[in-house]
Structure 1
């Protein structure tokens, strides 16, 4: 059947259904078709192509959905990994139907744009007609809009499945959608897709709820003891006295079921008129003690009204009460270590051991890839120890010239060799007396110096070049390496006895790509760099944060530090946008890692749809703005240095420079 014939039959089906109400299987679709004609004045005989909002408007929608985008990122990416092999794309739209986040294969980019399955597309029912996103917004229920369910004949080859995401007040916050432009004819083929989207929409909604009310006690309820810790179906935020603050969608349904009348969306919130004790037969002390009850930290309660058995666990507030007395002093001393990580399990284990070792008279070996922060943890060990008011001396054994390393480490007496200072020099080891000596890249230290260092550590004294008497030194050594020291011992390049002198205890730092607290590190380093630059107004936009979180960081924290410094140096206004990041950080943004763009222009098109439309969009934008780089940068959401780099790569030369010699 030809495309034209298919479209004619589709129009006839719509008109017949509207003339004969109740004649189609799904009432939701019929109501939407009627709205398309009666309310929006859409014409099924004149299908229109997808509508994209301008880039500036898209950025405004992304800004307004910033908090959601940051929370939803992990869920959207996880959902995409589940369905990418089936040729679906994932869209997250705001409550007005604008796609503010997109994941899809870059190899099908043109098809995504042609069908509207792309960043910045307007899927509101008013513009797109009956579709999963727009109709979900109107009906506020999960649904599948399959092939001829769509109002516009332009979309009848698509299958789209969407689920609403509600905020803690019951207001529509966003819509999560998966779509494909090739699928079986039967709508039943999308049954599993509907369940998957509903599951991830609920995950995003609950994650947003947990973040919004992280400062409160959150009671998690479920009908199953075995699944309450995992499922957390009903979430209810409460004050210390049990007063209800908010509940997730399932929690609000539970409260209504038990005759605690709550409002619909947009009505005044009466939560604080109720107490958790109005729902379950328990004292508030029993509820707050749930986290310390039994081996599984789960407690059973019955509801007042229907005497239903529910199992509860408790998430305690993240806010920290100010400690007193000795605890305050101890926490203050640990602050340099505590700031190095947030909730990454490997780092928390490393920092817990570091805290226990910080005042012990043993040397420590720090192991980790280049750039993972080995010097930073060494300095934090020093700053949190009793030696904090003494020198911290750092030496990079790989960077120091071999001809100078002996004199730099051990010092020398006046006139001890040609070119020596007439006053002599105190070596770095002696300078660290009473404090901490940090030996970075210890695996690159020459063998002959390893022998002399071993003597220093064994006898706690150092002999400067040309001196007859050694100097006593009291120091703690923290050594670091990214190399396999045991392998170097086997090859004869590192002394085994020195290894055991240095390795009184070892601390291993995970690479940045494996850390669960990347968001914390990004925010902390960003704030540190702002302080260094004397500014505090700039912020990382949600899509920028997503790009930073998605990048694998082969250079670890050092590379992250450099990327943020670059972004702060090149950004304009009060926001750091994706285009302000170094190119390598942008390459994976909004595209799945398995489907990376093939060129710089492709990468730019993935993040900025305006650059993907037309044969030479950058050149068109430059002509449109009469070669005003600042204006072009604003329109495309990029920094001026990025525009200049694109121009250079594409061989675009401004008219006033074309005749230059």
Structure 2
């Protein structure tokens, strides 16, 4: 009842404004006053008729996400970090495009229905021309950060919300996106939101600068700050330049420096732009030689426009940087180098693997299931002196216990009933001159462990039925996902064998722990494309979902998920909706309940599919068999036509 009373009073204030009475606005902030006047004068919004939340269709949302695809990818880390700070306070996070359309979102699943009703979710339209005064729409129009608190909203249905937004600009200074945090409820006092504005502004600038560095990664970039200590850490100014010192683009701080320079020394031509040497009162050689001028690769210059001292460093283009460091880099080892990029844990693993590749010491590779233990073992083999020999992989958990002895050690003719008439060379002998890889070594039967210990100790194998041992020249690499110390303590694994196998240990990190997840995803995806000889694009929303998912099955699960997406995607691109169900919930930590509201089923094909599903009690597997298609195809058609099972409708209402 109190909320209805407040809404009625709010509407009466705005109606009086539309009638030309402005006395009631004496306590209203100027930025809010201007927006209200636009709403009633320019947009002709009726304060007495609050508008329902407007949500884009899935196809329309996809088009908006495509237009900011590159920014979505760059912004993901900043969005995740900001949301981690505000989520405990009950806030949600919206990232919109320049039109005010929510293209990315973070929110608590427990608030889903209320957030949906308030328009705080993916696909919602916060354009000021439709939604009235609000943080996002007014931020876009004013091109400045703003808090729109409760009754400062124009639409009466929004007066319980508090929202704070900051613009994200492109290198030319045009607003391309808005970062917003919002809450359904908050204290009445406007001061309660004072924390939000600097926080959102900070992350908007971080995303803006990350986008700048991404866009101009192939250019020379001058990074500067008024404090020497902050230049490398987070220098505020960025200016991309050419080799001759001409300016290509600048971030907000850099544009401010240029504007100040132009006001002090107006150009003869309106299109003239000061060069970097003019801005920093230096010679181009001084700027290009910054990296060799001092130990910390920072040099002080005088800003010509303000006479202030500025500390500058130089960021080199990727290609030039790679060429400059090439002579001092270790010789490439492709088999190992392809396994990681900039993950610290993988760096340690691969550094040790490079040292061990030509050694005869036994190696134990540990890590969770699916982390790529066999891939690392094969890379270790392919990069070493045994590369021309065979690589024989044995999964100790996959071979029946009754057969593993004959499989490993081989047997002579007539050694046992059912064997081959000519006998068989065991896998150990087949690895002669190469590498024997024993996967899941922790599952090897205890009696067999004694025989393997003898092979390692004496470097010879005794086939079943033989009375003479056969010498073998092999290197043994083993792997396990189990805790070997616990197996030894429980008496399930021989301690002496463990120390024979564990001459050196390589511990692979889980995929969720790796800093180079993006590289791993791209590598697996590109390999799948090469196998299928296809050209398919992995869209940013799909990449964000893949990066945000925990991957309990690690790289093996990732490969299966991408293979599923390639098999089910309709178009020449993969979106978040083409991923397996468990991955779709990973985007922003928000489950499917935060997808835009599904439209009514109107197409003939959709209605036929809906009728068939209802007739089978929504048994997708049965419908797939009746139609002669796969289950993913049925789900894909359901998404296309907006067919929603009853248990989903509860979540999307």
SS at match of 2:364: strand
For 1:179 and 1:322, the matched residues in 2 are separated by 43
Moved more, 150-159 or 90-99: 150-159
**Where does residue 598 of structure 1 map in the other structure?**
none
Paired residues for 1:264-413 under 5 Å: 275-282=275-282, 284=284, 287-288=287-288, 290-291=290-291, 296-319=296-319, 331=331, 334-413=333-412
- The 2-side partners of 1:81 and 1:129 are apart by 29
| Distance (whole Å) between structure 1 residues aligned to residue 511 and residue 30 of structure 2 | 51
Deviation at 1:402, TM superposition (A): 1.3
> C-alpha separation between the residues in 1 aligned to 2:271 and 2:229?
33
Cα deviation, 1:29-49, whole Å, max 9, x if unaligned, reads 222222223322222232222
Aligned to 2:229: 226
1:642 aligns with 2:635: yes
**Are residues 385 and 255 of structure 1, via their aligned partners in 2, closer, same or farther at CA, if it must alter by over 3 Å?**
farther
Which residue of 2 is the match for residue 471 of structure 1?
470
Counterpart in the other structure of 1:440: 439
Conserved? CA contact 2:7–2:156, under 8 Å: no
The change in CA–CA distance for 1:557 and 1:429 in structure 2 (over 3 A counts) is same
Deviations 1:411-430 (A, max 9, x none): 12222222221222111111
* Mean Cα deviation higher: 640-649 or 411-420: 640-649
Q: Following the alignment from structure 1 to structure 2, what is the Cα–Cα distance between the partners of residues 152 and 569?
A: 45
CA distance in 2, matches of 1:426, 1:250: 72
In structure 2, the residue matched to 1:48 is 51
Q: Which is worse superposed, 390-399 or 226-235?
A: 226-235
Q: Which shows bigger deviation, 519-528 or 471-480?
A: 471-480
Residue equivalent to 2:460: 461
Distance in 1 of aligned mates of 2:339 and 2:263: 45
8 Å contact kept, 1:79–1:200: yes
Equivalent residue number for residue 659 of structure 1: none
Q: CA shift at 1:184, angstroms?
A: 2.1
> Which of 170, 173, 178 is 1:170 aligned to?
173
Q: Which residue of 2 aligns with 1:595?
A: none
* Paired position in structure 2 for 1:562: 560
2:492 aligns to what? Answer: 493
Distance in 2 between residues matched to 1:293 and 1:415, nearest whole Å: 79
Task: Indicate yes or no: 2:188 matched with 1:185.
Answer: yes
Q: 1:433 to 1:116 in 2, by over 3 A?
A: same
Report the counterpart of residue 63 of structure 2 in structure 1: 60
Q: Which runs of 5 or more structure 1 residues have no equivalent in the other structure? A: 593-602, 653-661
- 2:55·2:597 contact (CA, 8 Å) conserved in 1? no
- Residue 227 of structure 1 aligns to a residue whose secondary structure is helix
Which residue of structure 1 lines up, in the alignment, with residue 573 of structure 2?
Answer: 575
Distance 2:597 2:67 in 1: 20
What aligned pairs does 1:616-631 form with structure 2 within 5 A after superposition?
A: 620=601, 625-627=606-608
Distance 1:37 1:648, change over 3 A: closer
Instruction: Decide whether aligned partners of structure 1 residues 610 and 188 sit closer, same or farther in structure 2, where only a CA change above 3 A counts.
Output: same
Query: Matched residue of 1:572: which SS?
Result: coil
Q: 1:123 deviation in Å?
A: 0.9
Q: Is the 8 A contact 1:147 1:158 kept in 2?
A: yes
Shift of 1:639: 6.3
Report the RMSD for the aligned CA atoms in angstroms.
3.2
1:545 to 543, 546, 551: 543
Cα 1:286/1:450, change in 2 over 3 Å: farther
Q: Is the 8 A contact 1:11 1:153 kept in 2?
A: no
5+ residue gaps in structure 2?
A: 614-619, 621-630, 649-653
Q: Which residue of 1 aligns with 2:617?
A: none
What secondary structure does 1:183 align onto? coil
d(CA) in 2 for partners of 1:46, 1:578: 36
Partner of 2:597 in structure 1?
610
Aligned positions of 1:488-527 closer than 5 A: 488-527=487-526
Higher mean C-alpha deviation, range 190-199 or range 309-318: 309-318
Alignment CA distance shift 1:48-1:376 (3 Å): same
Helix, strand or coil at the partner of 1:640: helix
1:204 corresponds to which residue? 207
What is the Cα deviation at residue 242 of structure 1?
A: 4.4
Aligned equivalents of 2:405 and 2:167: distance in 1? 68
1:238 to 223, 226, 241: 241
Q: Secondary structure at the match of 2:365?
A: strand
Residues in 2 aligned to 1:210 and 1:329: alpha-carbon distance in whole angstroms: 24
Q: Provide closer, same or farther for how the CA distance between residues 487 and 19 of structure 1 changes in structure 2, counting only shifts above 3 A.
A: closer
- After superposing the two structures, state which structure 1 stretch, 225-234 or 194-203, moved more: 225-234
Secondary structure at the residue paired with 1:394?
strand
Distance 2:352 2:121 in 1: 48
Residue 609 of structure 1 aligns to a residue in which SS?
Answer: coil
